[in-house]
Structure 1
């Protein structure tokens, strides 16, 4: 058995893993800098990018330590905003709001088209 080739394989595997991990961190940093952080000036963003190119591992580590909490908060805000946008789109695509659905069901009930049980069922469905 040739242990040299096994260790070479493990070493290459480790290097590839580290490279992919660095790329993931790098893209998270770039997304945070250019799409989520609207308070940092362009010059500071340029300095971060230059350092990411010149000293990639060290700069990424420093960025995560110095701005990690802000990254988390901005990512959470972006997720909440995306959920609100998605919910608004779904409500718009679905047509009516829950209040409008209940009003329509009440009109049908008042007209005698549906029973009290059907009205309660429609109201519960609109509120869920």
Structure 2
């Protein structure tokens, strides 16, 4: 068995893995810089990009250490905004407003079809 080719395969596998990992981190950092961070100036963003190209791993680690918490907060804020936009679109596409849902639930309650607890649950769901 030729162990040299096996070790070469393992080495190439690790290099490819590190390259893909770096690309994922790079795109997360660039996404944070250019799409989610609206407070940092363009010059500072350019400096980060230059350092990401010249010293890729070191700059990525420094960025994650220095700005990781803010990066996570901006990502969470963007995710919450996307969820609100999606929910609003679904409500619009369904053609029913929360007021209509509550009115229908109230009609079911008045007709005796549902209980007061079920009405409250439907009302809470419509308002969420």
**Normalised by the shorter chain, which TM-score bucket?**
0.7 to 0.9
Runs of 4+ residues over 3 Å off in structure 1: 104-110, 122-128
Contact 1:36 1:74 in 2 (8 A): yes
Displacement after TM superposition at 1:97 (Å): 2.1
What are the Cα deviations for residues 8-53 of structure 1, in whole angstroms up to 9, with x where unaligned? Answer: 0000000000000000000000000000000000000000011111
Contact 2:25 2:60 in 1 (8 A): yes
Paired residue secondary structure (1:40) = coil
* TM-score, length basis structure 1: 0.84
Contact 1:105 1:119 in 2 (8 A): no
Partner of 2:112: 116
Once the two structures are superposed, the pairs formed by residues 1-128 of structure 1 within 5 Å of their partners are 1-104=1-104, 106=106, 115-117=111-113, 123=119, 125=122, 127-128=124-125
Structure 1: runs of 5+ lacking an equivalent:
none
Displacement after TM superposition at 1:91 (Å): 1.1
Q: Over the residues paired in the alignment, what is the CA RMSD in angstroms?
A: 2.2
Q: After alignment, is 79-88 or 99-108 more displaced?
A: 99-108
Displacement after TM superposition at 1:104 (Å): 4.2
What are the Cα deviations for residues 89-127 of structure 1, in whole angstroms up to 9, with x where unaligned? Answer: 1111111223212324556887xxxx421697x955565
Cα 1:104/1:63, change in 2 over 3 Å: same
CA distance in 1, matches of 2:31, 2:105: 47
What are the Cα deviations for residues 61-101 of structure 1, in whole angstroms up to 9, with x where unaligned? Answer: 11111111111010000001101111111111111223212
Contact 1:25 1:60 in 2 (8 A): yes
Paired residue secondary structure (2:113) = helix
Contact 2:36 2:78 in 1 (8 A): yes
